[in-house]
Structure 1
Amino acid sequence: MSDEEKPINKNGTDLDENGTDIQNGKEADKQINHNEENIENNGHHNNDNNNNNNFTHIDTDSDDEEDEPPKLKYSRINLLPPNFFNKDPLSACFFQDKYFIFATHSGIVHICTSQFETIRTFKAHRASVLSVYTDGAFFASASMDGTVVIGSILDEKDIIAYDFQRPIHCIVLDSNFATKRCFITGGMSGKVIYSSKNWLGKKTDYIIDQENGPIVGLQIVDDLIIWMNDKGINVFHLANRSIIQILEKPSDSARNDLYWPRCTQPDPDRLIIAWSNYIWSLRISLKTAEDKLLQQKTQSPISSGMSKILPSTASISFRNIQEKKIEIEHIFKLDDLICGIASFKDDLWMVLTYNPPIRDEDNSQKPMYNNPDLKLINSMNGEVEFEEELGLRNVDNLGLNDFNLGLHIEQIPKYYIISAKDGVITEEYQLQDRLNWYLDKEDYLKAYEISGHLVGFNKRLSYGIQYVDSLVKDNEWTKASEFLKTLLPVEEAQVENEIEDEEERERNEEILSQWQTWSNIFINSDHVKELTGIIPQTDKIPKEIFNKILDYWIDQDTEVVKKLLDEWSIELYDFEKIESELDKKQDANNLDTSIESALITIYNKSLQPIKSVPHLYKLKNDSIIEYCATNHILKNFITQLPNFIKLKFTNIEDINTISIDKISDKLDPIINILIDSRLEILPQEIIEIFQNANLSIINYLYLNKLKSIDNYLISNFQNEIIRLYCEFNKKLLYDFLISNNNYNVDEAIKLCEINEYYKELIYLLGKIGENKKALDLVISKLNNPEMAFEFVYKLNDKDVWLQLINKSINKYNFLKILIEKSDESTYKFYDPILILTKLEDNNKDINEEDRKKILINLKQSIIEFSKNNQLNKLIQQIILKLIYTQSQELSIFYRNEILKGIEIDNI
């Protein structure tokens, strides 16, 4: 077996080909005992360091009193072997999902779980361990002494060492190491070596790249190998055995081998590389067939040393393998050197930056070493959104390569800041951490706001109560009241006591208890004003509290009392007590409309509407009658109806000046109410009340509408209706007279005579047989010949006809009607020819000139009359001829029938 490949025991000492210890057995035992002692003393070491577990960061930009909790919290790592950091500085570390690996400058490798439970601690190398790696099943370590150790994490016997003769800076295991046993290394030799086992079981090395400077960084992503050297960032595709991309390092960056790069892979297809003061964000994806074809046409393939090493047949099987594509998403330049990088939430990176030491001019140019800074950088634009200086111990003489930043995610992300001499865990402040911070600062408002899902109801309520208490102490009563409304919500179900869940019911009881307590505090502190708008309207709070609130406002502002009584249920307070207090407050000389309205509200809600009416009248409420009707108490205020109606008018004189139609429109709702109440309030009562109040117009409107709804009820009020029609609406009088009979005709005649309603008077005179007097009014007062003719025509009285004829002799329009309207039925009373003859006779009542005018004016009527007579005569002759013809035919028919023989059957 060659010197490059030697198996080692669990303690890291060399073994021969048979597996025996090459070193002195005594020395091996001594090393084992030393390691076991470290492990056994681990718990004791932890106890000794409990006092140092808390880590305080240094933030030079923050004030002494912070308003917001820190973004990050820190704690020291004290679960590593006791000699780590102090006697044996750390030189390398690696953080995997399940396992962590720490290595020191003395060559010791410590493997533990992610909970720092020790799995193995052994000396693997004779010099500083420069790189460690694990895939979760196997680990690998590389050292300054040129050796590489690879083994199983759980199987101590499965371990082997290789010697590459030159310092190894980096090592990674192939993605399929468990089956292929392949790994990649790089170091001072400048070679990137892909090591595997051949078919004989011997290690075979393939040089991927060389002669481009020391390898300072190495990463494997699936089947891509990425390393950093003087050329920059190199990407090698294992499947195609070719370098697919080289990203040159900017010329203004630091020397390549001075500051080693840091890598993190936040996503399977994304790699972040921080090197010197630059950050590359790379996206790894498959090239499409079109991309590959375009590359073949436009670019010559990138050459590599692989073609010199691998046989020609080795690449044949890879020709058709699809190439990977590396895309640069971002390149950011920072002002500081980077010694660690990891992904953070919300598109942020956590970056650990290194500040080189500066010379102390006052102390003989002694170098002053700085703690690293922890920054959160926006991955989209490279801006620093948060930074603070750490407070690591023993940073003197440490360079950039002595610091590391690792990430491990279980339930929450934990970031491990590792230096050669100290280790710190940092986490984002969680809700519970923020809650504790606010409580420590006595910021109970913030503690209440963020504790919704962190603590139980009672605990969270206590935070809110403490905040209210702090506001009260600071005399911030308005803020305290506003927050109480949020802190102690009372839902409708709570008010109605409909909560079925026992736990919820207990919460409700506690809330109501707190309301009672704080209500008394506000009242006793004379801060009723702030309490008024927030107190829940529930009868689970004692009435005394609501009484005190109302008492306060009765003395301060009766408008508020009115508003509260409108909003609050009558069950919340002692309404009789409040009524008494309001009565005392009311000044007999000065009307307080708010108090009157408040009393009305109490009476309405306590179902005492009768008590409201006097107050409504004081307030001149013109809807008082509607209110009484709605509450069925109108009968109790019959005598007050005239006063109530007068409230409808700004000036009572308007009732005598405005038109009937306008009054009717204004009072129509009230008249309808009176009509609807006719069986409860009899019409006789209504009429008497308004007659005595000199409001006959109301009776007119009332009886007129009642007549159209219930004609039976007005049978005893026809005389009153006639009187009201005569006064307010003559148009309705005539139709009422002719359609009704239950009225005093003599009184009606007097009213018509007084008002000179001749049409109605004529009807009434005719009704009592005063036909001649009625006809005389038609002729003398109305001068209406048609009405006179119709009147006489209906009577069919010879004397009246004679009166009409005599009165018409000297009136052209009357004579005209007599002539034109004459027919066979009038011939027995007068003959138009005789009237004309009489007109031609010497009549002393008519002078000659008037007679001639009358005859001339009647010419057309006479012509029409003559025509009608001739036509009648002709028609009568024709009819007579028809009768004669029909009679003759019937006579001949019957004669022939008589002369016929009759056949009789023999029996």
Structure 2
Amino acid sequence: MAEKEETKLSENSAEDDDVRRDEDESETESEESEEEVEPKLKYERIGNDLLNILTKDAASCIAVHEKFLALGTHWGMIHILDHCGNNIVSKELPAHQTTVNQMSIDENGDFLASCSDDGRVVINGLYTNDNNQVLNFDRPVKAVSMDPHFFKHGSGKHFVTGDDKLVLNEKGFLGRNKTVVLHQGEGAIRNIQWRGSFIAWANDQGVKIYDMSSKRRITFIARDNPKLRPELYRCNLCWKDTTTLLIGWGDSVKVCVIKERLSHDARDLPNRYVEIVSMFTTDFFISGIAPYGSSQLICLSFDIEEGAQGEAGKYAASRPHLRIIEPHMDYYDELSNDALSIRGFQEYRCNDYHLECVVSDNIYFIVSPKDIVAAKPRDEDDHITWLLDNEMFEEAMVTATAHSKDLKKHNFQDIGKAYLAYLLEEQSYSEAAQLCSRILGKSKDLWEEEVYKFAQIRQLKSLAPYVPREEPRLDPAIYEMILNEFLQTDEQGFQRLIKEWPSSLYNIQTIVNAVLDRLGRDNNNAVLLHSLAALYTADKRYDKALAMYLRLKHKDVFELIHKHNLFDSISDKIVRLMDFDADRAVTLLLDNLQRIPIEKVVHQLEDHPKMLHIYLDRLFRRDPHSGQDFHELQVKLYAEYDRTKLLSFLRSSNYYPLQKAMEVCTQRKFIPEMVFLLGRMGNTKQALKLITNELRDVDRAIDFCKEHHDKELWEDLISYSIDKPAFITGLLNNIGTHVDPIILIQKIEQGMEIPGLRDSLVKILQDYNLQISLREGCKKILVADCFGLLDKLVKTQRKGISVEEDQVCQACHEKLIVNDLRYASNIITFFCRHSFHEDCLPVHAMETCSICVAQKRGPGRYSMLRK
């Protein structure tokens, strides 16, 4: 089938081949700038064989069927065409000698009736020659209409013709034609429409409807505007259904409904009547009318006024319009108004246009002498096309999603790709990138195609956050290309992608080489170094990554070591670790002593004594015995870097040489440390001398003497202090519980002034009284405890001791308790629970248990023999 010409917007030209929805040329610029409203109809100019026909002839009328269309011309020819304008073979009928005025097709599409000004009415069978008829009248026949059931056998083969009267023709007996005049006397009949059992016709006076079932005329609807000449403004009739008639005449529209008359009282009235449910006047003339949907109408309108003049005084008409209106009782709402560019429209008048429709297919045919245009309701594909033409891409995608099953031309992805192309052209790169996931979905090919588009305009950075990483996974070159874009223009973004993207997406070595190339031009770029370290880590080249992190002093160093067990790799990097973060480095080293021995750490830190001190100090605090081989070294380190901990270390450790430690402290004149070392070495006198001579601290001297409990030290301290009143005061206040104060008091020279002497003596007396009170109190407590324990012993010994029935004598091993009293004996039970018959114990053993005594004597005899 030859393709149809698609109608589009066009210029104002008689030779234009396009049909468009246009605005009136008189609209102002402000009106043109208003938002365009989507049309409800789409148009296609019918071409193919029809073009050749209209080139030689001119269309005068048309009749349509869902199978085909019949075109009548001014030369009297009838052409049977398909809806695309192609000739149906052998269906060209030379029926008349002049203009074909009207044609009618039966319901089944088997027969065609036509009439002409030549006075002939022709009935043609399209598939058979049976029932073909040619009727000749003595005057022009303006209208003809067939019974919709003409094709049925026994239907009577009715058809009606109209000239100055309405004649019903019926095929009678033996094929004779029987005619009945249904109406006459009111002028020429110009239009007849037959639907069901109703025939509607129009003459110069108005519209009438005849009921074939009752054989009666049921209504007359008068013409509204008698001033309009019928030959210039014909009456347009169209049956919407079997009971609803649409009338468009001049500038008025009526919607008429045939109803059953409920009351039959008036016997002379038809049993049906017509109600006009809508009647209104338009601001345009009507060239054709048809139903649209369930409640709307389509009007082919003609806007030019009679006698309008164009250039050079010639008649000039405007374009015809196809309007969709919503009828109401006495007014209408215009829903759509499409101006049509019909070939030669400037020369046509109202009656030169015709409108016919195929209701079942929703096709409307607009006919002019030299052009035929088909109009159809716009489908979802047309709606999307309009949205795309108006750059309403988002709405188009929503529509495509909701009506995907109804679309034949468009699909969601194609719309989305067009949207992306538009956004890129508008430089809305971020918005386009965000839409990619929604539009491209999981299509690997579409993603890669779009990535290359972004690459061409250097906007990969905008797309990077939305590039898929799993489904679909793109070619590694795609990810490498994006990474390289960031590497060259956004180092921070490059580092972020390296962390976010799985390393499996791209070839790591390729990216490493690119980073190394950039570092060749910027060797100390911290961001690139961080990125390179992350790449080395992803590539499991942990030694290189560790070296890089150490160079950067990055916090991830220790995490990297722990996570990947890199203790062997750091054995020669301890100094760098300590220099980066001494605290975390020491923690790491101490937590892994088996992997990184103390000796190795000390060896590496020998040239960095401060770091070595930190390490050994933490080691000693964790385990005082672990680093015993280095305690001698620690003495020097504490003396150099942390003297406050030196004395505590000297007290806690037993693994350093005292003499070496003494030399270190002596060199630095660390007196408290020297005192402690002298005391540990046994040279307490020298130590006390340092306290008294160097420190001059009586409290420390007293504490030192208390610590060693040496009488000679006390004597030395007293001898040293006897001529120092301050020292004497200190001694008087503190030695009362260690040395007899009388010794000190007797050595004090007469007349020496001693600060606080009275208070000191009072304190000595108080301490003495306190000691006496303590002794008295202790004595009382001891006596009370003795009496209490004795009382408890007496009470315990007075208690009875149970003897079990099966218990035996420890001497004879017979049962202690017997039933026969003749053999009974007294029982002796000791506190040790050993029991005997009284008769079994010798007299000397009645007081003590011989078994316990024997047990106690054994070790004693052994001891004596040993001695």
Q: Assess same fold via TM > 0.5.
A: yes
Alpha-carbon distance change, 854 to 563 in structure 1, aligned in 2, over 3 angstroms: closer
Q: Is residue 252 of structure 2 the alignment partner of residue 259 of structure 1?
A: no
Identical positions, percent:
16
Shift in CA distance, 745/563, structure 1 to aligned 2, threshold 3 Å: closer
Contact kept in structure 1, 2:61 and 2:71, CA below 8 Å = yes
Alignment partner of 1:668 is 2:583: yes
Change (3 A) 1:875 1:357: closer
TM-score, length-normalised on structure 2? Answer: 0.55
Task: Report the CA distance shift for 1:303/1:178 in structure 2 as closer, same or farther (over 3 A).
Answer: farther
Taking a change above 3 Å as real, the CA distance of residues 607 and 538 of structure 1, as seen in their structure-2 partners, is same
Structure 2 counterpart of 1:74, from 18, 23, 45: 45
Q: Secondary structure at the match of 1:76?
A: coil
Q: 1:135 maps to what in 2? A: 107
Distance 1:869 1:730, change over 3 A: same
Counterparts of residues 322-337 of structure 1 (less than 5 Å): 333=282
Tell me if structure 1 keeps the 8 A contact 2:125–2:132: yes
Structure 1 letter corresponding to 2:352 = D
**Letter aligned with residue 669 of structure 1:** R
Q: Secondary structure in 2 aligned to 1:700?
A: helix
Give the gaps of 5 or more residues in structure 2.
1-14, 26-38, 327-331, 383-399, 401-406, 468-473, 800-827, 830-836, 842-867
Q: Aligned partners of 2:774, 2:459: CA distance in 1, in Å?
A: 102
Give the counterpart of 2:776 among 847, 867, 870.
Answer: 870
In the alignment, which residue of structure 1 is the partner of 2:334?
A: 382
User: Contact between 2:219 and 2:274, CA under 8 Å: does it hold in 1?
Assistant: no
Q: Report if the CA contact (8 A) 2:65-2:109 is conserved.
A: no
For residue 854 of structure 1, report the CA deviation from its aligned partner. Answer: 1.6
Secondary structure of the residue that 1:136 maps to in structure 2?
Answer: coil
In the aligned structure 1, how far is the partner of 2:584 from the partner of 2:275?
89
Is the aligned partner of 1:101 residue 2:85? no
String of CA shifts for 1:14-46, please: whole Å, max 9, x gaps. xxxxxxxxxxxxxxxxxxxxxxxxxxxxxxxxx
Q: Where does residue 607 of structure 2 map in the other structure?
A: 692
- Label 1:817 to 1:373 Cα distance change in 2 as closer, same or farther (>3 A): same
2:631 pairs with 1:718: yes
Structure 2 SS opposite 1:389: coil
CA shift at 1:852, angstroms?
A: 2.9
Task: Name whichever of 423-432 and 762-771 sits farther off.
Answer: 423-432
State whether residues 139 and 152 of structure 1, in contact with CA within 8 Å, keep that contact through their aligned partners in structure 2: yes
1:419 matches 2:368: yes
Paired with 1:418 and 1:243, the residues of 2 have a C-alpha distance of 32
Taking the aligned partners of 1:224 and 1:808, their CA distance within structure 2 comes to 150
CA-to-partner distance for each residue in 1:544-594, whole Å, 9 max, x for gaps?
A: x999x99xx99xx997999899799557859879968975x689xxx7889
The Cα shift of 1:873 comes to 3.8
User: Given the alignment, which residue of 749, 753, 769 partners 1:844?
Assistant: 749
**Equivalent-residue separation in structure 2 for 1:266 and 1:711 (angstroms):** 109
Greater mean deviation of Cα atoms: 595-604 or 745-754: 595-604
Contact kept, 8 Å, 2:112 with 2:126, in 1: the verdict is: no
Q: Secondary structure at the match of 1:135?
A: coil
Structure 1 letter corresponding to 2:67: K
Query: In 2, Cα distance between the equivalents of 1:249 and 1:800?
Result: 149
Distance 1:371 1:95, change over 3 A: farther
**Residues 1:265 and 1:859: Cα distance change in structure 2 (over 3 Å):** farther
CA distance in 2, matches of 1:880, 1:430: 118
| Structure-2 residue corresponding to 1:856 | 762
Cα distance in 1 for partners of 2:840, 2:543 equals 104
* Matches of 2:218 and 2:628, distance apart in 1: 118
For 2:210 and 2:766, how far apart are their aligned partners in 1?
A: 134
How far, CA to CA, are the matches of 2:208 and 2:24 in structure 1? 42
Shift of 1:132: 1.9
The unaligned stretches of length 5 or more in structure 1 are 1-53, 64-69, 287-291, 293-300, 316-322, 434-449, 649-665, 823-828
Q: CA deviation at 1:98?
A: 1.7
Kept in 2: contact 1:106–1:125 (CA 8 A): yes
Cα distance in 2 for residues equivalent to 1:268 and 1:862: 139
806 and 592 in structure 1: CA distance in 2 versus 1, 3 angstrom threshold: closer
Amino acid aligned to 2:774: N
Partner of 1:157: 130
Where 1:692 maps in the other structure, the secondary structure is coil
| RMSD of Structure 2 on Structure 1 (CA) | 7.8
Cα shift at 1:870: 3.0
Counting only pairs closer than 5 Å after superposition, residues 41-190 of structure 1 correspond to structure 2 as 56-57=17-18, 74-76=45-47, 78=49, 90-103=59-72, 114=83, 116-117=87-88, 121=93, 123=95, 128-137=100-109, 139=111, 141=113, 143=115, 154=127, 156-157=129-130, 169=143, 171=145, 173=147
Q: Distance between the aligned counterparts of 1:268 and 1:734, measured in 2?
A: 121
Say which SS state the counterpart of residue 783 (structure 1) adopts. Answer: helix
For residues 239 and 735 of structure 1, what CA distance do their matches in structure 2 show?
A: 130
Q: Tell me the matched-pair count.
A: 713
Verify: 1:401 aligned to 2:361, yes or no.
Answer: no
Partners of 1:563 and 1:892 lie apart in 2 by: 93
Would the alpha carbon gap of residues 226 and 644 (structure 1) be closer, same or farther in structure 2, given more than 3 Å must change? farther
Q: Contact 2:105/2:148 (CA < 8 Å) preserved in 1? A: no
Residue 807 of structure 1 deviates from its aligned partner by: 8.9
Give 2:583's aligned amino acid.
Answer: D
Q: Is the 8 A contact 2:247 2:289 kept in 1?
A: no
**Matched position secondary structure for 2:234:** coil
The residue type paired with residue 76 of structure 1 is G
- On the 8 A contact 2:251/2:286 being kept in 1, the answer is yes
Structure 1 674/418 Cα, relative in aligned 2: closer, same or farther at 3 Å? same
Contact 1:242 1:304 in 2 (8 A): no
In the alignment, residue 692 of structure 1 is paired with which amino acid? D
Moved more, 112-121 or 626-635: 626-635
1:316-365 per-position Cα deviation (integer Å, ceiling 9, x unaligned) = xxxxxxx999876x979455654576869xx99684647577577997x7
Distance 1:692 1:95, change over 3 A: same
Where does 1:110-509 land on structure 2 (aligned, <5 Å)? 114=83, 116-117=87-88, 121=93, 123=95, 128-137=100-109, 139=111, 141=113, 143=115, 154=127, 156-157=129-130, 169=143, 171=145, 173=147, 254=228, 258-262=232-236, 275-277=249-251, 308-310=268-270, 333=282, 338-339=287-288, 351=300, 353=302, 355=304, 368=315, 373=320, 382=334, 386-392=338-344, 399-407=349-357, 416-420=365-369, 423=372
Cα separation, partners in 2 of 1:149 and 1:839, compared to 1, 3 Å:
same
Change (3 A) 1:166 1:193: farther
Task: Tell me, in whole angstroms, the C-alpha distance in 2 between the residues paired with 1:160 and 1:179.
Answer: 16
Query: CA, structure 1 residues 728+192, in 2 after alignment: closer, same or farther (shift >3 Å)?
Result: farther
Which residue, out of 699, 712, 716, partners 1:783?
699
| TM-score under structure 1 length normalisation | 0.53
Report if the CA contact (8 A) 1:190-1:215 is conserved: yes
Contact residue 570 and residue 605 of structure 1 kept, 8 A: no
1:602-617, aligned counterparts within 5 Å? none
Taking a change above 3 Å as real, the CA distance of residues 389 and 628 of structure 1, as seen in their structure-2 partners, is: closer
Alignment of 1:563-712 (within 5 A): 569=506, 667-675=582-590, 682-693=597-608, 696=610, 698-707=611-620
Counterparts in 2 of 1:600 and 1:863: CA distance versus 1, 3 Å: closer
Shift of 1:129: 3.9
Code of the residue aligned with 1:98 in structure 2: it is K
- Looking at structure 2, the residues matched to 234 and 214 of structure 1 have their Cα atoms a distance apart, in angstroms, of 13
Measured in 1, the distance between the counterparts of 2:794 and 2:47 equals 152
3-state secondary structure, aligned to 1:872: helix
Counterpart of 1:741 in 2: which secondary structure? coil
| Equivalent residue letter for 1:869 | R
